[in-house]
Structures are given as structure tokens and as C-alpha cells.
Copies of this chain bind each other. A is one copy, B any other.
Amino acid sequence: MYPAQFEQLIAMFEKLPGVGNKTAQRYAFTLLEKDQEEIGEMIDILNGLKEIRRCHICGFLSAEDTCPFCKDQTRNRSLIMVVANPQDVVAIEKTDSYKGMYHVLGGLISSSKGIYPEDINIEGLLKRITPEIKEIIVATSPTMDGEMTALYLDKVLKDKGVLITRLAHGLPMGASLDYADELTLIKALDNRRKIENE
């Protein structure tokens, strides 16, 4: 019923996660009120997206081949924290209490979603284990998939001669790591524990 251009705009917003038709319409009308300059800026931002890649070492987002964390020579290179997503890195960084390296898996092993170990960046992690590495902190969320991934990582890492630890269960079970408040994250980091194998 709207002009085709406007219906396309609504359809574009409807593809965003959790956005229904009403919300998509609200977003579309907001854009309609913007002037050509603002729309031009949005187009520039979308064009800039292609410059964003994954760091070839840790998998975090980066505008260059190597991300600022992996370049930073002041960070503790004997420590790697393994997280599911880039958002988790940002959540940890905000606590300002971790100065080691990161490894972003790009997801979690999930039997329900059919995500297998080879679908996430575990191979990249194994390649990073050199004698320099002393400890790997498995910082996956305390959910079913997070626990599954942590167990799998423990299995493939335990013979590598590095200490494997996990964030303490200060985090309530079932919650997503990247929604935790900073204090809870700091506690979880301080109380990280070695994975015990029976």
C-alpha cells in the first residue's frame, strides 16, 4: 500500500532479529524524516562494513589483519581467554581487570543447533599453543552449549601442558555472559578454577 521503495525499507528492517512489522514501520518512518545528508552518512557506514574483518590470530573484529589486542605488546602473552563472541571480549575489557590475550571461537558447540567442534575456531586456538602459553581461561557462558564447549576444550587441551581454568560460577546458570554486570564478571575472573578431570 506504501510506495515500493518504502515497503522495501520496511522489509529490510523486518530482517533484523526480533523486529516485527510494527517496529519495522516505526524504524522506516524515522528514516523518512532524515535529510539526504544523514542518509548519505548511513550509506557510507554500510559501505565501510566491508573493511571489517576477523583478526587472523584471535578472531576478534578488526579493521586490519591483526587486531589491537594481538598487536599490544604490553599485554600478557602467556594467557589466552577463550570466548564465544566478540561481544564477550568487550564485556571483559569493560571490567578493566584482564590484561591477557583473547581467542574468539565465533560460536559454541551446540547439539540443538547442530554446531560441531569443527564449525567454530578451535583449530586456530590449538595452533596458538606454544611453550610461551601458560594458562587458557575458558570463558564460555554457563549455559548448556557453553558447558558443552568448555568440556570439549578441556578434552583437546589437557595434554598440551597448559593450565586450563574456567571463570568461577558467580554467573547465574542460564544467563548470557555478555549481559553480566561488571562486578559479577570481576568476581568470576578472580575465582577462576582449574578444570578437574575424573
Question: Chain A residues in contact with chain B, CB under 8 A?
Answer: 1-6, 8-9, 12, 15-18, 22-23, 25-27, 29-32, 36, 39, 41-43, 45-52, 61-63, 85-87, 89-90, 93, 179
Contact = CB atoms under 8 A, between A and B. Distances in A.
A8 B45 contact: yes
A2 B61 contact: yes
A74 B68 CA distance: 65
A90 B45 contact: no
Copies of this chain, count = 2
A31 B49 contact: yes
A175 to B, nearest CB: 14
A6 B54 CA distance: 12
In terms of DSSP, what is the predominant structure of the interface of chain A? helix
A43 B45 contact: no
A51 B2 CA distance: 12
A3 B42 contact: no
A6 B48 CA distance: 8
A52 B28 CA distance: 12
Contact of A52 (B5, B15, B25, B45): B5
A25 B90 CA distance: 11
A62 B3 CA distance: 5
B8 A32 contact: no
Of residues A48, A85, A179, which shows the largest number of chain B Cβ atoms within 10 Å of its Cβ? A48
23 contacts: A1-B89, A1-B90, A1-B93, A2-B61, A2-B86, A3-B61, A3-B62, A3-B63, A4-B63, A6-B52, A8-B45, A12-B41, A12-B42, A16-B26, A17-B26, A18-B26, A29-B86, A39-B47, A39-B49, A42-B46, A43-B43, A43-B47, A46-B46
Contacts of A15: 30
Contacts of A1: 89-90, 93
Given A1-B89, A39-B46, A62-B3, A16 B27 contact: yes
